[in-house]
Structure 1
Amino acid sequence: MALKNFLASLLLAAPLAVAHPGKEEVYAHAALPLERKSLAHCSADFAQPAFIKKTVEIHGRELARVKRSLGIEDKPKLRPRDYISVSRIDHKSSKAVTKGMELSTLFSDAGACMLMPAVDQGPLYVQGEEVRKDITGGEKGIPLTLVIQVVDYKTCQTVNNAYVDVWSSNSTGIYVGVQGYPGMGDPKDASILKGTTLRGVQPTDSHGVASFDSLFPGHYEGRATHIHAIVYLGATKQANNTITGGRAAHIGQLYFDQGLITAADKVAPYNNNKMRITQNTADFLFMQGANGDDPIVRYALVGKDISEGLFAWIRFGINQAANKPVSPAAWWTDKGGVMNPKGPVGQMNGGGGGGWGGWPGGKKRAAKKVEADEE
């Protein structure tokens, strides 16, 4: 009962969300136009007792599971716009998480009900990753349980049987799974293609909820700290635990409070990250996504401090009729990763996976492209 009401108020206003080092091609993440700025018309539906009760139960089970796994009984602490005003919102819950507390008092602060802005998937997407909840892959970092609820922005109904595909960088700002991208490891190291860390897929349940056990992403130059997500509709799960078919109805990114990022960067191994930090308000994709929307997750600590983990939640308002183009940098197969010669990174490298035309010879070309991106 306590764990049920824990999330309730949370949902009366869940936010919705919007790829890469300043070393990306501009075309790799040009924002697409919004179809609608607001989900305010859905507020009555999201406020229905049955809707709140169901969401509270699902989010509550996830939070309770994370706390049990850490042996924590109590005491973690846990709150129409333009991108500047959004960046000033404190998305941390003002409530303390204690044993037996009312979940509704935490999750009432879920953010605005806005349509998630759609963007290109970025240059480092790997298509065909496995359906799995735990995507940490043995990496070290701050545990992050990420809960995403998918709703139809027109009908205000939850979207079940969708597949949410997420990917992000590790604690030191590196993406695994794609070979030859500047700043993401040795461009000639083919073993990078074998990595699947912080990449995975989860289905939405009967209440439109998908959740992942992940890690807080690290920062890297040129982009604010973020996580990517694609929502697939009509896909089919295969015997090899991957999905095929369907269409990408939503492609977006979600962000974090700047203060939370600063706190995370003081924790090992994040404090070993030497790349320059890009503030949310200096990231043009964040600006586009937060001009009318709030793509920053709400969150709570699950332990006495940030090192013990975070529980974060957000609501995606999607257009189920949409069919977004997807151009992966690589595909995951039963033999490991395979570069896509026609993908964003393959095109940078002249159709190969070896890395910017020979690196370091091609590095000058990369630098020029980076400079052009930053202008």
Structure 2
Amino acid sequence: MTETQEPVGKRDLMRRRAVLAGGAAIAAGGIAAAAVTSASAGEDPAASSSATRPGATATGDGEVCYRLTSQTTEGPYYIDADKIRKDITEGKEGIPLTLRLKAIDSDTCKPLPGAAVDIWHCDALGLYSGYEDSSTGGGPPPTGAPPTDTPTDAPTDTPTGTPPTDGPGGPGGPGGHQEPTDDKRYLRGTWLTDRHGFVEFRTVFPGWYRGRAVHIHTKVHVGGKMTDAGYEGGHTCHTGQFFFEEAAVLDSAELAPYSTSTTERTTLTEDTIYDQSGVQGGLLKLSYRKNDMARGVVGTLTMGVDPDETHDGTGL
């Protein structure tokens, strides 16, 4: 039976279930009206709840189930889950971003309650907390006269080592973890999923840095417990990254402080970590007012993970 042949009540119920699964962008807090909703990999936003979209299959009752979300490198700037909080902004300047995630078992399609979800990302100018000296931010150029002791001779020694990369094309080594260089912890946090598998964070829209498209890192931990020191025990069943549609990044680049960045951007299609697979590869659904992005953005995604596997992102 086609959709046009189905009873209206049943069709509406299936649509509501598909939206609940996290596939479509969620509008809230005044963002719904006149909002832009980005689609992944050229998808039609109106069809974003369809079971035929990349990474999704339909179960018998109309619920949308996602295949295993792509695993990626941990990157160099991960710090263990010691900041148990939903609001990770710490007063950082930038476009408000509400990140709404759902974790499900990719095999059974059932939600994962009590899973610890980590997220961490750079600020609007490309700097990571804990690593401000080593991350490559793109702030405005310094003012004043150039230093008088700038060396003028060309170096005679050719470097022989291989520069670190955040996977190919960015700082930090495939997984190559670095020890923190400062005690700042902005734009980092961990929170548990609720009984329906949902978790929500308040943060800011990330900026960009050399060699990488705009992204947010994530880990999903299961089998552990919350302690005074953070989330401990269990294992990491997913390490991945969330990505942003190019149109939304271009809109953000029109606003301060993003507009002051001097770093050349790497586009989504040029990024060497994103696998170009849309939702399955971590591409967020974004909703915001086209002419008033500064009011805020809502990003949503359903993560299909295998709670029995271990994926810590260090072996990629």
TM-score (norm 2): 0.69
Kindly report the root-mean-square deviation, in angstroms, between the aligned alpha carbons of the 2 structures.
3.3
1:128-157 CA distance string (max 9 Å, x none): 331101001101100000011001111111
Partner of 2:308: 321
Say which structure is richer in strand.
2
Contact 1:76 1:305 in 2 (8 A): no
Shift of 1:8: 4.8
Partner of 1:140: 93
Give the whole-Å Cα distance in 1 for the aligned partners of 2:75 and 2:103: 21
Are 1:226 and 2:215 matched, yes or no?
yes
Q: Which residue among 172, 188, 193 is the counterpart of 2:182?
A: 193
Give the whole-Å Cα distance in 1 for the aligned partners of 2:35 and 2:50: 14
Partner of 2:282: 295
Shift of 1:291: 7.8
Give the whole-Å Cα distance in 2 for the aligned partners of 1:138 and 1:166: 17
Contact 1:164 1:202 in 2 (8 A): yes
Partner of 2:78: 125
Partner of 2:246: 258
Shift of 1:5: 11
Give the whole-Å Cα distance in 1 for the aligned partners of 2:253 and 2:221: 33
Q: Which residue among 76, 84, 88 is the counterpart of 2:42?
A: 88
Contact 1:143 1:216 in 2 (8 A): yes
1:194-217 CA distance string (max 9 Å, x none): 211110001000010111001110
Partner of 1:14: 23
Q: Would the alpha carbon gap of residues 75 and 6 (structure 1) be closer, same or farther in structure 2, given more than 3 Å must change?
A: farther
Residue type at the aligned position of 1:222: G
SS in 2 for 1:228: strand
Shift of 1:191: 9.9
- Number of aligned residues: 249
Residue type at the aligned position of 1:14: G
Partner of 1:270: 258
Contact 1:289 1:295 in 2 (8 A): no
Partner of 1:32: none
Partner of 1:155: 108
Shift of 1:294: 4.3
Contact 1:115 1:153 in 2 (8 A): yes
Give unpaired runs (5+ residues) of structure 2: 1-12, 57-66, 139-178
TM-score (norm 1): 0.59
Give unpaired runs (5+ residues) of structure 1: 16-58, 80-84, 95-105, 328-375
SS in 1 for 2:35: coil
Q: Which residue among 202, 206, 209 is the counterpart of 1:213?
A: 202
Contact 1:6 1:107 in 2 (8 A): no
Shift of 1:325: 3.5
Q: Which has the higher contact order (CA 8 A, sep 6+)?
A: 2
Partner of 2:192: 203
SS in 1 for 2:273: helix
Contact 1:133 1:211 in 2 (8 A): yes
% identical equivalent positions: 27
Q: Would the alpha carbon gap of residues 74 and 250 (structure 1) be closer, same or farther in structure 2, given more than 3 Å must change?
A: closer
Larger gyration radius, structure 1 or structure 2: 2
Contact 2:77 2:180 in 1 (8 A): no
Give the whole-Å Cα distance in 1 for the aligned partners of 2:78 and 2:183: 14
Give the whole-Å Cα distance in 2 for the aligned partners of 1:127 and 1:299: 28
